[in-house]
Amino acid sequence: MKPILLQGHERSITQIKYNREGDLLFSVAKDPIANVWYSVNGERLGTYTGHTGAVWCVDADWDTKNVLTGSADNSCRLWDCENVWYSVNGERLGTYTGHTGAVWCVDADWDTKNVLTGSADNSCRLWDCETGKQLALLETSSAVRTCGFDFSGNIIMFSTDKQMGYQCFLNYFDLRDPQQIEDNQPYQSVPCNESKITSAVWGPLGEFVIAGHENGEINQYSAKSGEILKTAKEHTKQINDIQSSVDLTMLISASKDCTAKLFDSTSLEHIKTFKTERPVNSAAISPIMDHVVMGGGQEAMEVTTTSTRIGKFEARFFHAAYEEEFGRVKGHFGPINCVAFHPDGKSYSSGGEDGYVRIHYFDPHYFDFELEA
């Protein structure tokens, strides 16, 4: 494996995302730029400059026409991707202005008609992707932490933080009913009494949202009634990240309790556990092999007390069926914040606290490798 080192950020990486075809890799960090890289050789194709605050999240729509970024500079921006092969200008298509606080999350529906953003200014906003017009402003009592469109793009969910005396809520809006938007009345608002939601993804068919909580619980919230359909109390500490498999049938949760766990999305049956000695920040499921990759490390505060020679900042590969670690990839000088598999499963990337993104293409050996069985 010859890793490709992407040096384009000056501060820690917050998120990395492949586009659906996998030829492009987007990276965003606490510095106010978003970068797009050609994933086959790490050539930087463009930079999306314009944000003035940390960029927390990025997503590309399903046929990579557009890229969305959400930032702490209170804006969410849409960028045109189409010309990225020919020009390195990262021509900016538009900006969604309106937020007055850091944008924590962004999502686009599956054919990029609408954009949803959630912000620390206590609002969730819906935008028309093409015109940039704000379609809806949904005010909340506290910062919006996660948001997303369901599989069909008709229903949106977002969760609010537990702050200033307000609880954490999970809200559902049906976009086909304008009355809900006008009255700022979600058809369903689910209070989360004990522990706030830290990460959430939609289920495979839009019937429920799977949310990870600060106390380590994972709950399935029905999109119809809002009630908890299933619960998994397997983790003992905060869930840091939840990612779905490419077919949305499984999900992997990365937790501060030093493990990552594999669940069935529909039944929330706990299938596998992968144990390490450090908190896990992010985990991903390989699209083609029975492998999972995990990244983590210590919390930023404690980083200075760890010897870098120990190499705890490694991406670790586990066999999904045997739960055994079979490989590690060193290289990061700080905790790994985000890992992602290329959609074709032939490479993976990791973004770290050190500000670097590393793309690794697997050796042929990786695909033949088998643990004795």
Partner 1 sequence: MRDTDNMEAEMEYDDGEEPSFSDPEDFVDESDQELLGDVLRDKPQEADGIDSVVKMSHLCRYMSISDEWEAPEKQPFKDFGNLRHWLEDPDCRDQYSVIYDSGERTGIFANDVKEPIEVEERARWTETYVRWSPKGTYLATFHQRGIALWGGEKFKQIQRFSHQGVQLIDFSPCERYVVTFSPLMDTKDDPQAIIIWDVLTGQKKRGFHCESSAHWPIFKWSPDGKFFARMTQDTLSIYETPSMGLLDKKSLRINGIKDFSWSPGDNIIAFWVPEDKDIPARVTLMQLPSRNEIRVRNLFNVVDCKLHWQKNGDYLCVKVDRTPKGTQGVVTNFEIFRMREKQVPVDVVEMKESIIAFAWEPNGSKFAVLHGESPRINVSFYHVKNNGKIDLIKMFDKQQANSIFWSPQGQFLVLAGLRSMNGALAFVDTSDCTMMNIAEHYMASDVEWDPTGRYVVTSVSWWSHKVDNAFWLWTFQGRLLQKTNKERFCQLLWRPRPPSLLTQEQIKLIKKDLKKYSKIFEQKDRLSQSKASKELVDKRRSMMEDYRKYRERTIDMYNEQKPLRLELRGGVDTDELDSNVDDWEEETIEFFINEEIIPIGDL
Rule CB under 8 A: which residues touch partner 1?
20-22, 62-63, 85, 110-111, 151-153, 204-206, 247, 249-250, 264, 266, 271-272, 277, 290, 298, 302, 305-307, 309-310, 320-324, 343-344, 371-373
Tokens of 265: 């999305």
Minimum CB distance to partner 1, residue 152 (Å): 4
Minimum CB distance to partner 1, residue 128 (Å): 18
In the complex with partner 1, which residue's Cβ is closer, 75 or 253? 253
In the complex with partner 1, which residue's Cβ is closer, 179 or 307? 307
CA 289 to chain centre: 21
Minimum CB distance to partner 1, residue 169 (Å): 26
Minimum CB distance to partner 1, residue 157 (Å): 15
In the complex with partner 1, which residue's Cβ is closer, 12 or 64? 64
In the complex with partner 1, which residue's Cβ is closer, 184 or 306? 306
In the complex with partner 1, which residue's Cβ is closer, 164 or 373? 373
In the complex with partner 1, which residue's Cβ is closer, 189 or 276? 276
Amino acid type, 286: S
SS3 letters across the chain: CCEEEEECCCCCEEEEEECCCCCEEEEEECCCEEEEEECCCCEEEEEEECCCCCEEEEEECCCCCEEEEEECCCEEEEEECHHHHCCCCCCEEEEEECCCCCEEEEEECCCCCEEEEEECCCEEEEEECCCCCEEEEEECCCCEEEEEECCCCCEEEEEECCECCECEEEEEEECCCHHHHHHCCCCEEEEECCCCEEEEEECCCCCEEEEEECCCCEEEEECCCCCEEEEECCCCCCEEEEEECCCCCEEEEEECCCEEEEEECCCCCEEEEEECCCCEEEEEECCCCCEEEEEECCCHHHHHHCCHHHCCCCEEEEECCCCCEEEEECCCCCCEEEEEECCCCCEEEEEECCCEEEEEECCHHHHHCCCCC
Residue labelled with tokens 């969410």:
76
In the complex with partner 1, which residue's Cβ is closer, 312 or 358? 312
Minimum CB distance to partner 1, residue 308 (Å): 10
Minimum CB distance to partner 1, residue 235 (Å): 15
In the complex with partner 1, which residue's Cβ is closer, 168 or 262? 262
Minimum CB distance to partner 1, residue 248 (Å): 8
From residue 358, alpha-carbon distances to 194, 327, 354 in Å are 38, 16, 11
Minimum CB distance to partner 1, residue 155 (Å): 10
Minimum CB distance to partner 1, residue 277 (Å): 5
In the complex with partner 1, which residue's Cβ is closer, 62 or 366? 62
- Residue 316 half-sphere exposure toward CB, CA atoms < 13 A: 26
Length of the chain: 373
